[in-house]
Amino acid sequence: MVFEELELNDNVLDALYDMHFEKCTPVQEKCIPEILKGKDVLGVAQTGTGKTAAYLLPVLSKLASGGYPEDAINCIIMSPTRELAQQIDQAIQGFSYYLDKVSCVAVYGGNDGNRYDQELKSLSLGADLVIATPGRFISHISLGNVDLSRVSFFILDEADRMLDMGFSDDIMTIAKKLPQTCQTIMFSATMPAKIEDLAKTLLKNPVTIKLAVSKPAEKIRQQAYVCHETQKMGIIKDIFKAGDLKRVIIFSGSKQKVKQIAQSLNQKQINCGQMHSDLEQAERDEMMFRFKSGQIDVLVATDILARGIDIDDIAMVINYDVPHDAEDYVHRIGRTARADRDGVAITFVNDDDIYFFQQIEKFLGREVEKMPLPESLGKGPDYTQQATKPKRSGDARSRRRKAREQQSHKDTKQRSRRNRPQDSHKSDKQTEEKKSEARNSRKRPARNEKQQPQRQPSNQIPQQAEEKTESRNKRRRSSSSSRRKAPQKQQQPRSTKYDIREEFSQPKKQRESGLKKLIKKPLRWLGLTKK
């Protein structure tokens, strides 16, 4: 079916044709007519099937037709991540290119004060569409910045992801403030029990549309390497050596591993970037721009990019570690082979992940092709057909924390092992030298006394040396005694100023005799006068 057969606004159709969109996807074909009728919709479909356009096109068409307040928020779209909110905002700008009276604003955290002021202004004036993350939108509600009394559309995109991230209470808080006449639309990639419960609470007589629940696209060529943890970087190097590096995403379950992988690739002169929650929003935006524009060939990321991010030309996805949930695996590899393109999905399976990868194969209903390891890396572990589930204690958060700590400890141990031969030898040698120096410090004066005669010239007679030493000692003793006595003589005139004055108060004859003595004394020293 083509979009022209649907009852969409003419201006929206013109924008679609300019964007070279002509045919509907199955989820768009089934969802758009129901949303145009004003019914609540629950859509369940795999990633990359066009779910964003499935709800944006009918909502924009209804807003363009008129009949909605201009000074109020007419549509609220909830997004689990900032990146998805930005992507939805960009899609709205494209679809509403010829709609003059439709405005939108993206509301999410991680911005500076200027961005917050813009959000506040748009919310107060009443933007037609508000794309928001739950946490940031709740903060605006608590501050009294949002009026939800006249909202006509409430849309939950990637609802399963938002529930997994713990936004269930925030969603219910927002939903309770909406009017009863509000049309609610919910889209999800999976259909677990918690989504069904949420749909029963929020939706009124919904139309449920399910398409290929959690099945990867057929054009994705899936491969797996059964390897040890230490062989993974060697496999990546071999893959990149054999093929094109452009448009590759490497997924890892922890941000610590993402940092380590990116560092290793940069050391191998591979142009790559990283995406994880430790980056500021400006850094995330810059990284996504560089990757989409082709400035970065490889992007190492956590599951923050696994859902909803629309990058059409991804040629390869590498799972550095096996996700323990089959749904997460589907979302990861769903980044490639989008828009009827071909793609490759490669997964590294180590000893501990064999059981989980077998569960993924059961979920897929087929066995994933196992690729041979490069000869230079040696043999990998045996892929047994009935692997047992590893014993794991604690919740998922504690397991992830333990995995990060183990990886960090492993890297530290390897670095210390590489530096140990030289450093340990040097440190042991230095310690021994310090100990010997401390032991000999008490003996050093005696040693110097013994060595002192050896510094004498060879033609020096020992007896003369002894006499010379004895005379030197006598002079030292006499000079020291004279120095001790000299202050006693000088202390009398220095004791008080009145002694000097008394000297000059005496008769002139007596005073001159004292002065003559004082003058003659240095003259005698110089040999100029008779004693």
Tens of pLDDT, residue by residue over 249-306, are: 999 988 899 999 999 998 888 889 999 888 887 888 889 889 888 888 899 998 877 6
What is the reported pLDDT for 39?
A: 95
Q: Which of 401, 427, 457 is the last residue of a domain?
A: 401
In a shared domain, residues 143 and 257: no
Same domain, 301 and 180: no
Asked if 110 and 83 count as a contact pair (C-beta separation under 8 A), the reply is: no
| Nearest by Cα to 298 from 274, 270, 272, 277 | 272
- Domain assignment present for residue 285? The answer is yes
Same domain, 181 and 224: no
Percent pLDDT > 70 in the chain is: 69
Structurally, how many domains does the chain consist of? 3
Q: Quick one: pLDDT at residue 443? A: 47
Sequence letter at residue 172:
M
Name the β-bridge partners of 107: 132
Domain encompassing residue 10:
3-211
Residue pointed to by tokens 């930005």: 86
Q: Of 309, 301, 281, 292, which is closest to residue 91 (Cα–Cα)?
A: 309
Q: Which residue has the higher pLDDT, 449 or 60?
A: 60
Exposure string of 504-514, with b = 16+ CB inside 10 Å and e = fewer, is eeeeeeeeeee
Give the dihedral sign, CA 36/50/24/312.
positive
Q: Provide φ and ψ at 416, rounded to 5°.
A: -70, -35
Q: Where residue 434 falls among pLDDT bands split at 50, 70, 90?
A: low
The verdict on 334 and 393 lying in the same domain is: yes
Q: Is residue 375 included in any domain, yes or no?
A: yes
pLDDT of residue 498: 45
User: Is 120 found in the same domain as 62?
Assistant: yes
Average pLDDT on 445-458 reads 44
CB 216 within 8 A of CB 333: yes
pLDDT tens sequence across 23-55? 898 899 999 999 999 999 999 887 667 889 999
Q: Sign of the C-alpha dihedral, residues 429, 430, 433, 438?
A: negative
Q: Taking 80 as the threshold, does the pLDDT of residue 359 lie above it? A: yes
| CA distance linking residue 14 with residue 4, whole number of Å | 10
Most confident of the following: 101-105, 151-155, 301-305, 373-377: 151-155
Q: Which of 311-320, 488-497, 512-521 is predicted most confidently?
A: 311-320
Residue 154 CA to residue 174 CA, distance in Å, equals 10
Please tell me whether residues 370 and 325 are part of one structural domain.
yes
Looking at residue 356, which CATH number applies to its domain? 3.40.50.300
Whether residues 140 and 192 fall in one domain: yes
Q: Which two tokens stand for residue 60?
A: 């924009």
Q: Are residues 86 and 30 in the same domain?
A: yes
CB contact at 8 A, 182 and 154: yes
Mean pLDDT of 465-489: 53
Q: Is residue 413 part of a domain?
A: no
- Domain presence at residue 121: yes
Best mean pLDDT range from 167-171, 276-280, 451-455, 512-516: 167-171
Across the range 100-115, mean pLDDT stands at: 82
190 lies in the same domain as 150: yes
3-class DSSP assignment, residue 345: strand
The contacts of residue 389 (CB under 8 Å, 6+ apart) are: 355
The amino acid sitting at 378 is G
Query: Is residue 438 in some structural domain?
Result: no
Could you identify the residue written with the tokens 């939805």?
88
Q: Would you say residue 498 lies in a domain?
A: yes
d(CA 9, CA 13) in angstroms, rounded, equals 6
In a shared domain, residues 150 and 184: yes
Residue 446 domain flag:
no
- Among residues 401, 416, 432, which one ends one of the domains? 401
Tell whether 246 and 276 lie within a shared domain.
yes
Report yes or no on 184 lying in a domain.
yes
Amino acid identity of residue 122, one-letter, is: S
| Predicted pLDDT at 191 | 80
Domain edge (last residue) among 172, 191, 211: 211
Say whether both 306 and 176 belong to one domain: no
Q: What is the DSSP letter of 38?
A: T
Map tokens 């183990």 to a residue.
406
